[in-house]
Structure 1
């Protein structure tokens, strides 16, 4: 197993939910102060933010004292991440480190790029702590059945596997090619490409590598289970006991079907909601008791997810009500305040395990849903 990557926040303490909520808020306030000072100090700051601050009507170094002050920042525009030079996002205090570039979006045109040093390792080590060892045993080998190339998932899932003491087997998948096939209406080619991805997964699963855990996306999980059924077997019979699933929308109806028809009681599925900007919002395995509702909780204090009014992004919706997802990322490598995501959902209250707001029912934001292309993954 790999050692912990420095930078993971301390666990929230407290014996009651109310105490844990207070402690989590205090931790977030302190974290906000630390991160804002880092990104806006002349010695350690990020060139993009040092330049942007010249137009602010407030001083980030003096006027940001906690989470509530984040509202002083303008809403983040994703166009700021398209094009270069990408070095403008590297904090001066970390300029001598080795950096990766991960892409997000950009199925057409110039993709959004994010520089990363250790954040993906920290995010996935935090996520690792949420996985039950009974189903995701330490030392187990993994299959990474998802997008590859300049995307965070390949390296991140591989690190998760190595961190837990295993070896990760990966496939090739280019989601940009998938989107082109869909836009051209070449559905036969799309199905062939999905089959190509499942062929790769089947080769790995049947090669005697003792795969116990896997990452995959909802569509690919569905396709893999169908292929196995056609061959008279199941994922459980292939040795898989834990599935980390994410990448696109998961409905309660879909996950209920997967659990009841394909996975059975001996496989744990861990749904996630996340992206290259946020990290991973984790969820416990949905159950019949909760009508298979999936509630995601962001990895505070490194990222905060709010559910805000569709017409006023400064206003939280009441618990149980629908709104747009507003993301704030707070790490020493990357600061993104108040980014309106391409998703909406329902605001959920804190719980003992995650003593801060969550979001359920995540789906494409209704004003742009028709423009969103979801391909093979």
Structure 2
């Protein structure tokens, strides 16, 4: 079978798994009769995942025990419960299993064999956010130690929503202060942070110099970065430093790999871990895929034996690009929507 046929077979197997009372979670088994279709009979391929309604808001209140598939072996351990950033309301919760985290990180790291070794500084959220553990594993895979800075992105968003830009700015300066202390005293080769925080760090000349002198690779994630800013950072400010993006979502318990730019165009395209994680770029009105090269809303699917989150509408727009495997879509020019369900989206620093 080719990759597309294997992906379709995987989807069918996962429909049987998640909607069988013997193997599925309480949430999905009980939800089956209220979907308006039979997922086992009607979802036969990756494209059919669009049949699911966007149920992501229900995950704000579901007890996490109800999300754990009954068919998992007792040796499968819940590693953590991660939460979304809370940009569009109360956080949604997702169950991370140790085996899935290991599998996903092995896939991602396999695409970057030439990073070398060194220590990592993460100026990024931790706590209930997946990015904290992600940064630890990035450091571990590169033979170094992770240094980290405490960050509560929800507090920043709350300050911005209240119009208290002075307090929000002071909080970010506090983060930059801490990052500078680490960069001054430690041999940091890898910097993991978000574009807004990276921008604030580069505004301080002393921090900018430390990044230029020490950091070989910046991994940016958690918020969008436009191509003009990326080009300025990589060619003007830090020409000796490599930059790599990682786009993802807690809803799919994973990120992406940035496709190699073999032609040197500066193009940034993100590929997902298909068939376990796949994206679609759709027209927000019809919910049908747009043409390749057109912009639409990003829809994500997480389809593994560890959990099911299908047809999750993200708060991002992107240009649709053919995926490397032919499964789902790849994404270019990702940026957040200004409003969602009548609510203004505040990106903040994450």
Q: Same fold (TM over 0.5)?
A: yes
Q: Which residue of 2 aligns with 1:146?
A: 124
Deviation at 1:26, TM superposition (A): 2.0
- Counterpart secondary structure, 1:250: coil
Specify the alignment match of 2:70 in structure 1: 92
Deviation of residue 91 (structure 1)? 0.8
The 2-side partners of 1:341 and 1:165 are apart by 34
Name 1:304's counterpart in structure 2. Answer: 278
Aligned partner of residue 52 in structure 1, secondary structure: helix
The answer for the alignment partner of 1:32 in structure 2 is 11
1:110 aligned residue: 90
Q: Choose the corresponding residue for 1:131, options 82, 107, 112.
A: 112
SS of the counterpart of 2:248? strand
Deviation at 1:268, TM superposition (A): 1.4
TM-score by length of 1: 0.84
Q: CA distance change for structure 1 residues 273 and 198 in 2, over 3 Å: closer, same or farther?
A: same
- Identify the residue that residue 196 of structure 2 maps to in structure 1: 219
Q: d(CA) in 2 for partners of 1:198 and 1:187?
A: 16
Q: Verify the 8 A CA contact 1:181 1:190 in the aligned structure 2.
A: yes
- TM-score (ref. length: structure 2): 0.90
Cα 1:177–1:158, aligned 2, differ >3 Å: closer, same or farther?
same
Partner in structure 2 of residue 362 of structure 1: 334
Q: Would the alpha carbon gap of residues 85 and 325 (structure 1) be closer, same or farther in structure 2, given more than 3 Å must change? A: same
CA distance in 1 between counterparts of 2:320 and 2:11 reads: 22
Greater mean alpha carbon deviation, residues 54-63 or residues 122-131: 54-63
For residue 262 of structure 1, what is the aligned residue in structure 2?
237
Tell me the distance in 2 between the aligned counterparts of 1:243 and 1:306: 27
Report how many residues are paired.
Answer: 345
Change (3 A) 1:310 1:46: same
Give the superposition deviation at 1:308: 1.1
- Residue 320 of structure 1 is matched in structure 2 by 293
Residues in 2 aligned to 1:310 and 1:177: alpha-carbon distance in whole angstroms: 30
8 Å contact 1:120–1:152 — kept in the other structure? no
Alignment match, 1:201: 179
Give the CA RMSD over aligned residues.
2.4
Partner of 1:23: 2
Q: Which 10-residue stretch deviates more, 147-156 or 113-122?
A: 113-122
How far did 1:289 drift?
A: 4.2
Distance 1:300 1:360 in 2: 17
Q: Contact 1:24–1:356 at 8 Å: present in 2 too?
A: no
CA contact (8 A) 1:121 1:160 kept: no
Kindly indicate whether residue 255 of structure 2 is the aligned counterpart of residue 283 of structure 1.
Answer: no
SS in structure 2 at match of 1:361: strand
Unaligned runs of 5+ in 2: none
Deviation at residue 108 of structure 1 after TM alignment: 7.7
- Post-superposition CA distance 1:307-331 (Å, at most 9, x none): 1123211x21111111111111112
SS at the partner of 1:148?
coil
Partner of residue 340 from structure 1, selected from 313, 316, 335: 313
